[in-house]
Amino acid sequence: MTLPMKIFVYGTLMRGFSNHHLMKSCQFVGTATTKEKYALYIADFPFVTEKLQISPIQGEVYEVIDEESLKNLDDLEEHPTWYRRKPVTVVVEGSMSGEIEAELYFNEEYAIEGDVESVPSGYFRDALRAHAHL
């Protein structure tokens, strides 16, 4: 993949969460929502799957400008074995409004059963009360 690239984040990589420090060298583009519907879940961590189309996913878009930042993100997400980074269309809000393509980390490996909680709104912050450790 050629840099710079846009990454859409929806969980702990967003501002105010535990892994946001990995975005320090990335440029914030804006808040955004996926154009297509996917399914957001929370287990010990948040993940999105393409298996079900429940709602658009809400998050943030960043521009990754250096190899080290991309490597750090891919390492966190264990791309391509645990999460897989794939292009999606997102709708950016605010002054940079419009549709753009960004990469989203999907997880199709985690079993959707047991303590896995669906987030029907598609917005990670909606499910945080029960998951303060994230």
**Helix (H/G/I), strand (E/B), else coil: 85:** strand
- Which residue in 63, 67, 77, 113 is the catalytic one? 77
pTM, two decimal places: 0.92
Question: Is residue 77 among the annotated active site residues?
Answer: yes
Task: Identify any residues that bridge with 88 across adjacent strands, giving them in sequence order.
Answer: 102
pLDDT band at 90 (very low <50, low <70, confident <90, very high): very high
**Could you tell me which residue, 128 or 55, shows the higher pLDDT?**
55
What average pLDDT is seen over the chain? 92
Per-residue pLDDT at 43: 87
Residue 114 pLDDT more than 90? no
Containing 99, the helix (H) or strand (E) segment is: strand 98-106
